[in-house]
Amino acid sequence: MNPPDTSAAAATLDRRAIDTSRLSLRPNILAGKRILVTGGGSGLGEVIAQGCAALGATVYICGRRGGLLQQVAAATNGEQRGAGCVRTRACDLRSADSVDSMLASIWADGGALDGLVNNAAANFIARAEDISANAFDAIANTVMRGTFLVTTGCGKRWLANENKASVVSILTTWVVNGGPFASPAAMSKSGVWAMTQSLAVEWGGSGIRLNAIAPGAFPTAGVAARSLTHEQGTTENKANPMRRFGQPEELVNLATFLLAPGSEFVSGQLIAIDGAGYQGNGANFAALTAWTDADWSSARAKIKSADAKDKALRTTNPERVG
């Protein structure tokens, strides 16, 4: 595990704090709880980590960009003022060794986790015929394989010590209706949904619950440029029948409900939070069937630029992946 990146090359934080007055659960309901949020340095993962900390949890966030994780933790801890706290772990979820090392360090830092939020994701838009084997692996190894490694890594520790726990995986409504022009991500997320249902049965008798959330349009500072939602035509008026984007606190309220005491009988479920988006308009990239070769060429250039910027900020060792 690499030390945090404190160089000038570290990411610049672009975020907004959640409005804790809009959280539904009572303050400190997660006090004493220990929760890991994968991909917690940006986007929806950061929002969920903020919410868990605001409700009293000790939250671990992991990802490949150590500098960004450090900034998020410092900002969130400064805002909580005595509630929960956020701690960081640099980790490449594609590497079994990296995942095991991370989990061992978390267990050594205070004991078992009580909750896991599988949020880390990877995606880009492309025509299926243009996707290479390496590009497919880049998505599947992070989203499906990485999620399985983290979940089972926690699970074997929970089972060995008879710990109860809650796992919440962040999916997409594409597991219901498909993901045109994002088929590797749709396939990988569908695999995580299958894992959720399977392990909810396998581990249910041990008090380990697994559920999934399928968010709709929740614009955050960490939404990947690879999705090119602006070019797709996603606007508040078109996002869903409610004609608005989701608010971060709304997602936090659902995720923390599934993690908190009081929801122990909820397991094996997929809950969409998208304003009826996928029923109303599919909530996928089907509109890109109208794109020309020139449109796709332009999109590839923008995606490559986003990839290059992201790779420059990673602090994990790619050679350990395997």
Q: Where are the domains of the chain?
A: 20-313
Provide the residue type at 217 as one letter: A
Structure tokens at 232: 């797709």
Beta-ladder partners of 38:
62
Do 213 and 249 touch, CB atoms closer than 8 A? no
Provide the residue type at 107 as one letter: W
The predicted pLDDT at position 302 comes to 82
Do 79 and 257 touch, CB atoms closer than 8 A? no
N-term to C-term CA, the chain: 15
* Residue with tokens 């599947």, as numbered in its chain: 140
Q: What is the pTM of this model?
A: 0.88
The b/e string for 12-29 (b: 16+ C-beta within 10 A; e otherwise) is ebebeebebeebebeeeb
The predicted pLDDT at position 13 comes to 55
The predicted pLDDT at position 317 comes to 55
CA dist., res. 216 & res. 242, Å (int): 11
Helix (H, G, I), strand (E, B) or coil at 280: helix
* Residue with tokens 């205070």, as numbered in its chain: 110
Q: What are phi and psi of 183, to 5 degrees?
A: -60, -35
The predicted pLDDT at position 307 comes to 65
Do 189 and 196 touch, CB atoms closer than 8 A? no
Q: Quickly name the fold that domain 20-313 has.
A: Rossmann fold (3.40.50)
Do 63 and 36 touch, CB atoms closer than 8 A? no
The predicted pLDDT at position 16 comes to 73
Do 313 and 68 touch, CB atoms closer than 8 A? yes
The predicted pLDDT at position 128 comes to 97
The predicted pLDDT at position 79 comes to 83
Burial of 156 (0-12, 13-18, 19+ CB in 10 A): exposed
Burial of 160 (0-12, 13-18, 19+ CB in 10 A): exposed
The predicted pLDDT at position 313 comes to 61
DSSP letter string, 143-212: IIIHHHHHHHHHHHHHHHHT--EEEEEE--THHHH--TT-HHHHHHHHHHHHHHHHHHHHSGGGTEEEEE
Do 254 and 273 touch, CB atoms closer than 8 A? yes
The predicted pLDDT at position 303 comes to 78
The predicted pLDDT at position 224 comes to 46
CA dist., res. 274 & res. 218, Å (int): 9
Do 193 and 212 touch, CB atoms closer than 8 A? yes
Averages of pLDDT over each 10 residues, the chain, 322 residues? 36 70 93 97 94 96 94 90 88 97 98 98 93 96 98 98 98 95 97 98 98 90 49 69 92 97 97 94 91 90 73 56 30
